């Protein structure tokens, strides 16, 4: 019996695990290709009426873009130029020019470019199509020797024809979602309302999760990785169906629209063994800053425990019994809501999330687990490097117990 309960616990937890923590965004032509065509492309770019600089920063950043604030000014210039292009992705004739201090044929430029694009992708879930289908071409002159400044043209490699209907569907879904949120409440209550409604609405994309390794090359193209998958549909037409990146990006965007300061973080997560080992897989979750000025960690994916994740049908009545107890089930649904970074890293719930029937059968919904942010001291892995700038969550006031009055 103990082994059965433990196995059920592990599989329930595993079914909530994410799919993709880090995407390698296919967003640029190679430097070699750019070098071969740079003179012709630059001349064409300079003649185009659409050639201009990025839009004003205030217009580009209506929400608080966390990762934008931690990159350098030059990386911000690349970010702003790309952001300007992405606002009209059906037009691939527009060229945005940025002035940089680094040689665009150098590794330093490649580092700046990758950090800028990853920061943009982390900050802007509304560009859900860009990870799998977007690309930007960079053009520049063949400079002879060091320069004080280098002019680089940025242009969408091709237009995205489906942008308008998909963007409309996405914004309509976000509008409908937020119309049922009381935005007059304090930030902590808004964050809670969005969390609860999101996990009620979204279904975990088990099919996408199970095919990740077999179809890794094409996986990032699936909208199940995005906020679009969570709020509209995945690429297979399943409504509101996503893996962890879709959950976390949807939560981020909805919080942004509601005026909250929020960020996404990626890394590894898994169940922790009694010997200190852990079964880890890539994962994404969120950080939100509340009215006390402190940051809190939230994992909507893991809080969404669905009956479909039950690995043994003979325990269906146990699952349903647990759900029928409102107090217990609300605790399960908020196990990973508003925790500190320390609590998320070393989650030790005891028997808080164990439900036992009179006949001795039971389910442990959450046992010991860990969430570890990916990190890198160098920018070779831009996603992990940017994670190093994510805030540490120390908030301890607006816990689920406090907000629910338990």
The rounded distance, in Å, linking the Cα atoms of 34 and 45 is: 13
Give percent above pLDDT 70 in the chain. 81
**Cβ-contact 263, 287 below 8 angstroms:** yes
Residues 330, 336, 338, CA angle at the centre, nearest 5°?
Answer: 100
Mean pLDDT of all residues in 142-160:
86
Backbone angles phi, psi at 170, to 5 degrees: -65, -50
Q: Let me know how many helices (H) and strands (E) the chain has, helices first.
A: 17, 11
341 near 297, Cβ under 8 Å? Answer: yes
| Nearest-angstrom CA–CA distance, 8 and 2 | 10
* pLDDT tens column, 228-256: 999 999 999 999 999 999 999 999 999 99
- The pLDDT value recorded for residue 54 is 63
> According to the model, what pLDDT value does residue 182 have?
98
Strand, helix or coil at 89? coil
90 or 265, which is more confident:
265
- The tokens of 32 are what? 């070699």
pTM of the full structure: 0.86
DSSP letter, residue 272: E
Yes or no: say if 195 and 300 are a contact pair by the CB < 8 Å rule. yes
Q: For residue range 1-54, what is the model confidence (pLDDT) as tens digits?
A: 121 122 333 233 333 333 333 333 333 333 334 333 433 343 443 334 444 566
Q: In 182-232, at which residue ranges do the beta strands (DSSP E only) sit?
A: 203-204
Confidence of residue 201 (pLDDT cuts 50, 70, 90): very high
Average pLDDT over residues 65-94: 94
Q: How high is the pLDDT of residue 307?
A: 74
Phi–psi pair at 369, nearest 5 degrees = -150, 170
* Helical segments of 183-299, H only: 187-201, 206-210, 227-231, 244-257
What Å distances lie between residue 318 and 104, 156, 310, 314, 356, CA to CA? 61, 53, 10, 8, 8
* Residue 223 tokens, joined: 């909208």
Place of tokens 């975990």: 204
Confidence category of residue 274, pLDDT binned at 50, 70, 90: low
Beta bridge partners of 136: 28, 156
Statement: residue 338 has pLDDT above 90: yes
Q: How far apart (Å, rounded) are the C-alpha atoms in residues 319 and 330?
A: 14
What are the tens digits of pLDDT across the range 351-391? Answer: 999 999 999 999 999 999 999 999 988 888 898 999 999 99
Over residues 98-141, the pLDDT tens digits come to 999 999 999 999 999 999 999 999 999 999 988 755 689 999 98
Specify the DSSP element, H or E, that contains 245.
helix 244-257
Residue 53 DSSP code: P
Mean pLDDT, range 64-69, rounded to an integer: 95
Distance CA 286, CA 131 (A): 19
| Phi, psi values for residue 364, rounded to 5° | -100, 110
Instruction: DSSP letter for 56, please.
Output: P
pLDDT at 56: 63
Is residue 27 within 8 A of residue 118, CB to CB? The reply is no
**What's the pLDDT at 40?**
38
């Amino acid at each position: 019996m103990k082994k059965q309960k433990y196995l059920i616990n592990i599989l329930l937890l595993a079914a909530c695990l994410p799919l993709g923590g880090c995407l390698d965004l296919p967003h640029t032509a190679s430097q070699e290709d750019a070098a071969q065509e740079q003179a012709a492309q630059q001349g064409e770019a300079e003649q185009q009426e659409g050639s201009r600089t990025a839009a004003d920063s205030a217009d580009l950043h209506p929400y608080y873009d966390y990762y934008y604030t931690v990159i350098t000014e030059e990386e911000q210039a690349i970010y702003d130029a790309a952001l300007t292009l992405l606002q009209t992705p059906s037009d691939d004739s527009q060229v945005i020019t940025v002035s940089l201090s680094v040689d665009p044929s150098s590794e330093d430029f490649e580092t700046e470019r990758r950090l800028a694009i990853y920061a943009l992708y982390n900050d802007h879930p509304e560009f859900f199509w860009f990870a799998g289908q977007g690309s930007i071409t960079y053009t520049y002159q063949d400079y002879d020797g060091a320069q004080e400044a280098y002019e680089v043209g940025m242009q969408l490699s091709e237009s995205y024809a489906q942008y308008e209907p998909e963007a409309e569907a996405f914004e309509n879904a976000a509008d409908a979602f937020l119309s049922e949120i009381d935005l007059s409440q304090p930030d902590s209550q808004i964050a809670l309302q969005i969390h609860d409604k999101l996990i009620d609405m979204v279904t975990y994309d088990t099919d996408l999760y199970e095919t990740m390794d077999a179809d890794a090359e094409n996986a990032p193209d699936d909208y199940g990785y995005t906020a679009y998958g969570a709020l509209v549909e995945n690429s297979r037409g399943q409504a509101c169906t996503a893996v962890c990146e879709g959950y976390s990006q949807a939560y981020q965007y909805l919080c942004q629209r509601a005026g909250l300061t929020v960020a996404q973080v990626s890394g590894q997560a898994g169940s922790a063994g009694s010997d200190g080992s852990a079964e880890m897989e890539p994962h994404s979750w969120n950080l939100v800053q509340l009215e006390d000025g402190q940051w809190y960690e939230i994992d909507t994916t893991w809080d969404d425990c669905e009956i479909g994740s039950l690995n043994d049908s003979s325990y269906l009545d146990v699952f349903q019994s647990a759900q029928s107890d409102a107090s217990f089930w609300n605790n399960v649904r908020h196990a990973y809501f508003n925790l500190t970074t320390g609590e998320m890293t070393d989650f030790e719930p005891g028997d808080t999330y164990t439900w036992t029937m009179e006949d001795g059968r039971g389910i442990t919904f959450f046992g010991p687990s860990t969430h570890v942010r990916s990190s890198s001291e160098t920018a070779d892995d831009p996603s992990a490097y940017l994670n190093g700038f994510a805030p540490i969550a120390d908030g301890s006031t607006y816990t689920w117990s406090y907000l629910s009055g338990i």
